[in-house]
Amino acid sequence: MEYTTLGRTDLRVSVAGLGCGGFSRVGQRAGKSEAESVSLIQQALDLGVNFIDTAAAYETETIVGKAIAGRRDEVVISTKATTGRGDNLASPDAFVASLDASLKKLGVDCIDVFQLHGIAPDAYDYNIDHLIPAALKEKEKGKFKHLGVTEVPPLDAHHESLSRAIEEDWCEVLMIAYHVLHQSARKIFTVTREKGIGVLNMFAVRVLFSEEGRLKRVVDSLVADGQLPRQLAQEEEPLGFLLHEAGARNIIDAAYRYCRHTEGTDVILFGTGNPDHLRANVESILSPPLPASDVERLNTVFGSLVDVGLDAPGNVKPI
């Protein structure tokens, strides 16, 4: 495993991080037993993965707690409290209660990274005025070490919330959507590198790359909209140029390696409920960069795209 320091924190983290939400929820969405999910997390730890990301909304904190029992010193734990949106914003009391519940479910005295979960742009000011002060008071009590924030990719494709958060002193870590066909996070990385803000990369691989035929349908739609060159519609595999002896083993491998070796990312998050996929994902994240010519082509052809492949679990568009 390879490790790095997460921004200006003192946390030494694996570059591959296991996400316990998303489309898998460590196998819970696929009907895996709790014991199987616990075993999967422990297998990740055995591979050297020490960054585990969960959230109150994922309903996997108890599973994570069981998996890390007796191994707390090996793990960097990240969890989140929902902030709400629209007319259903979390109160400071509810926010703190979520933090306390997370500590109990995880079976820990202190969380390494505690994040405000999914701040929508229209709720940003409320979070700054009400939830951030509440969180900082709990930090002073020793309930968590570092405060972070995550965006809501389907509602904030242009990173409006994070663009504001990175200018605030309280923001030590952020979670952002970034992948081959959604590269707009680069503007955020410029600032996070300057300020030492830790970056957790989500959405490196989602249904866009993992569901058979979906990438082709999405690219054809973008070609029809005039956002991509016409010749791509003639390609059976739009990213097929990445698959060669000196390049990627498959598209998922390419997607992980692209994100891993983008300057500005610290931890590449992946989700799975399958032990074979676990090992393959870790192998890809630990693989060398894609050839420079392939990366240049990806950036040239797809670099201007925004709001592609940002589907949320349970809300996958029938493309």
Has residue 116 been placed in a domain? yes
52 has a pLDDT exceeding 80: yes
- Taking the model in full, what pTM does it have? 0.95
Question: Taking residues 293-307, what's their average pLDDT?
Answer: 97
Has residue 228 been placed in a domain? no
CATH number at residue 272: 3.20.20.100
59 class by beta-carbon count within 10 Å (0-12 exposed, 13-18 middle, 19+ buried): middle
Question: Taking residues 236-257, what's their average pLDDT?
Answer: 96
318 has a pLDDT exceeding 90: no
Backbone angles phi, psi at 185, to 5 degrees: -65, -10
Structural domain boundaries enclosing 81: 3-211+265-289
Has residue 233 been placed in a domain? no
Has residue 236 been placed in a domain? no
**Mean pLDDT for the chain?**
95
| Dist CA 225 CA 72 (whole Å) | 50
Confidence tier at 290 by pLDDT (50, 70, 90)? very high
**pLDDT tens per residue, range 108-164:** 999 999 999 999 999 999 999 999 999 999 999 999 999 999 999 999 999 999 999
Q: What share of the chain is helix, strand, coil (3-state, %, to 5)?
A: 45, 15, 40
Q: Angle at CA 111, nearest 5°, toward 45 and 80? A: 95
Has residue 177 been placed in a domain? yes
Has residue 173 been placed in a domain? yes
Confidence tier at 316 by pLDDT (50, 70, 90)? very low
Domain count for the chain: 1
Question: Taking residues 41-51, what's their average pLDDT?
Answer: 98
Instruction: Say what the pLDDT of residue 109 is.
Output: 97
Q: Angle at CA 9, nearest 5°, toward 22 and 83? A: 40
Question: Taking residues 277-289, what's their average pLDDT?
Answer: 98
Has residue 145 been placed in a domain? yes
Q: Are 132 and 111 in contact (CB under 8 A)?
A: no
Has residue 231 been placed in a domain? no
